[in-house]
Amino acid sequence: MSARRRPGGELQLVGVSGGYGGHSVVRGIDLTVEAGTSLAVLGASGSGKTTVLRMIAGLHPVSAGRILLEGRRVDTLPAQRRGVGLVPQQGALFPHLSVARNVGFGLVPADPVARWRGRAARAARVREVLDLVGLANRAGDKPSQLSGGQQQRVALARALAPGAGLILLDEPFSALDAALRGRVRAEVAALLAESGATSVLVTHDREEALATADRVAVLIDGELAQVDTPERLYLHPASREVAQLSGETVVLPATADGGSAHTVIGAVPLDSAAQGAGTVLWRPESLEVLRAGDDDEVGRGHGVCAGVEFHGATTLVRLWFDGTDRSCAVPVRGGERVGVGDRVAVRPLRPAVFHPAP
């Protein structure tokens, strides 16, 4: 079977818990990753995301629950029998071996006779996956002769070579510089999709999670807070904590009354009906800033500009809202010019997400 058509397997975590030294790190994880799709597990340091990855890989025991791959329970199996490939943070390539021998390392059987008889099949498989990752012409090179992005592609080829039904990626782009990171993660995502593998990416980088995965699971303090498509997670976060992990936010105190809420910037529409005290939340690009006095509708405005930040493609206005301790950075649109000390108004461009007070 070609590397380009090798099917992935469905992964299921059912009530999975685990920890260290009697201390629970993750609790009651229920999660399904459909065959051939990609999932990003997003969380801050200490949230338990690496523990989840290690339990799936067989590098850490499960204290409760079950892990199934293609319907087969694997949490009771040793790591080498699970059919799982792992791409670690920095590739972990053997510096003294060629690219081809690094990729073929996991294909070499312990039995000397089997090793001899299977040489041609192993060489063909190595060529197949190196062709998939676009490095067939570098098979004889050592890792030191490759760029950081090429080394990560070799690590991916090594994980794919045994025909694993599941590929796990442990923050694989964290060691790359910012200019290279975006290109390499796009390449790896495309290669995984082309291979047909099921994949789980663990990351603390929200941009990475949203850009590369079919679905994103947000882990907070060892528990799943939301599992959704990148778009729904970004636009409809289940809680303020999820919102802050998945992007920049503008949050204001509010009192909801059906389809709208009362705030310091006036009545604002909500994306779903609610009642009572809480907060409203937008992404910064869902708001616009106007200089007070330029528009009769905004009157004297809602706050004061405390700073202007130029970011090339966008310019952000840092503003303080009247009567609150809340500030936010909102993109300036069009030719609007706002200076420090100017009175400004804020206008929503889309309904807010309401979260009730705890």
Q: What CA–CA distance (Å, rounded) separates 288 from 333?
A: 7
Q: What CA–CA distance (Å, rounded) separates 178 from 141?
A: 26
Exposure on the CB side of residue 250, measured as CA atoms within 13 A: 29
Average pLDDT over residues 309-314: 81
Share of the chain above pLDDT 90, in %: 46
pLDDT at residue 331 greater than cutoff 90: no
Q: What's the pLDDT score for residue 295?
A: 54
Which distant-in-sequence residues (6+ apart) come within 8 Å of 272 by Cβ? 354
At 43-55, the pLDDT tens digits run: 998 999 999 999 9
Q: What are the sequence ranges of the domains in the chain? A: 11-240, 248-356
pTM: 0.85
> What is 161-185 written as a DSSP string?
TTT-SEEEEESTTTTS-HHHHHHHH
Q: Same topology for domains 11-240 and 248-356, yes or no?
A: no
Nearest CA to 203 among 233, 239, 245, 161? 245
pLDDT at residue 240 greater than cutoff 80: yes
Q: What's the pLDDT score for residue 2?
A: 40
Average pLDDT over residues 303-323: 86
Going by pLDDT thresholds of 50, 70 and 90, the confidence category of residue 114 is: very low
Contact present, 227 and 217 (Cβ < 8 Å): yes
Q: What's the pLDDT score for residue 334?
A: 58
> What is 213-234 written as a DSSP string?
-SEEEEEETTEEEEEE-HHHHH
Q: What CA–CA distance (Å, rounded) separates 342 from 336?
A: 12
Strand (E) positions, the chain? 11-20, 23-33, 38-42, 64-69, 72-73, 84-87, 166-170, 198-203, 215-220, 223-228, 250-263, 266-282, 287-291, 303-310, 315-321, 327-331, 343-348, 353-356
Share the mean pLDDT of the chain. Answer: 86
Q: What CA–CA distance (Å, rounded) separates 52 from 69?
A: 15
Average pLDDT over residues 74-101: 86
CATH number of 248-356: 2.40.50.140
At 154-187, the pLDDT tens digits run: 888 888 888 777 999 988 887 777 777 888 888 8
11-240: CATH architecture: 3-Layer(aba) Sandwich (3.40)
Exposure on the CB side of residue 281, measured as CA atoms within 13 A: 22
pLDDT at residue 86 greater than cutoff 80: yes
